[in-house]
Amino acid sequence: MGHERVGILPKSTRWTRLVGQMGGVFSDEVPVGTLAAQTLENVRRQYETLFQDDAVKTAFAFLVKFARACRAEDPHQALRASGIPIAERATLLSIVRSLKEQIPPHQAATEYGQITIGAAADAIGNWYKQNASQQMPLFKPSSEFLDSWRPLGEGSGFCDLARLFFGKVTERYLNYFLERAASATCPTLEHRERFREGIRSHVDGVSRHAFETAKITQSFAAGWFNGHARDRVPSEREIEGFLSVAFGKMRDELRREEQAA
């Protein structure tokens, strides 16, 4: 499960430039370069131990189990066998509800737990819209709904879901730590509010940057799924091992970008 790679992934916009666009109205009043670097450093530090977080492991295990069930002749039965109750006439909402029910309340109530749940739910919804073999109504119950997810049960389908998950986690942490850094660095309340406006106006740019950063996990996720999850449910240790490598790859990519700024 090595993760050697040379060079930085291509980005539509470098992080430092994107943050500069957010704070461009301030000229030299706000050190946007410092904000950009501090945000990347804080996310990298978070990723040093995030693979051990119970909410992250539980959410990712749900994605793995759900993908495996999509390979089964009876996805509902496969999900129930994996400890995931789901409505017989499923919808996208009921799948997301099942995800949330897997996370213990004390974990889900934390800021970091909310980031994880939101990222996993976004990944599920976005994967379906982009890849489902046949588009069913998102909120209308259907006994055939899970059949439309069949491509997710292959390594090529799962790697897309994994990239979406890590991209959404990164997007949320970039926004979270950028707002915190801005609150601590901007000299006045007016500066902080105007910078937050800049963050909100560039939400699509942050999302795109995070998704491009997460590309580094894609091929690794496909190989891991085919080797560890196609024919059985991987253990918690295997889930944690995958997350350790994946977040390590993300951390290395963020460090390369910070050094290239």
Kindly list the domain boundaries of the chain, sorted by start residue. 15-260
Query: What single DSSP character describes residue 148?
Result: G
Tokens 């040093």 locate to 48
**Confidence tier at 155 by pLDDT (50, 70, 90):** very high
**Confidence tier at 258 by pLDDT (50, 70, 90):** confident
b (16+ CB within 10 A) / e for 169-185: bbbbbbbbbbeebbeeb
Please give the Cα distance from 145 to 142 (Å, whole number): 5
- Determine if the pTM surpasses 0.95: no
Q: Hey, CA dihedral for 227, 228, 229, 232, is it positive or negative?
A: positive
pLDDT at 87: 79
Give the pLDDT confidence of 82-117 residue by residue, as tens digits: 999 887 777 888 899 999 999 999 999 999 999 999
pLDDT at 6 over 80: no
pLDDT at 2: 42
pLDDT at 138 over 80: no
> Where is average pLDDT lowest: 25-29, 140-144, 176-180, 223-227?
140-144
pLDDT at 245: 97
DSSP H or E segment with residue 81: helix 75-81
Please give the Cα distance from 64 to 231 (Å, whole number): 12
Give the pLDDT confidence of 48-84 residue by residue, as tens digits: 999 999 999 999 999 999 999 988 888 888 899 999 9
Reduced to 3 states, what is the DSSP secondary structure of residue 73? Answer: coil
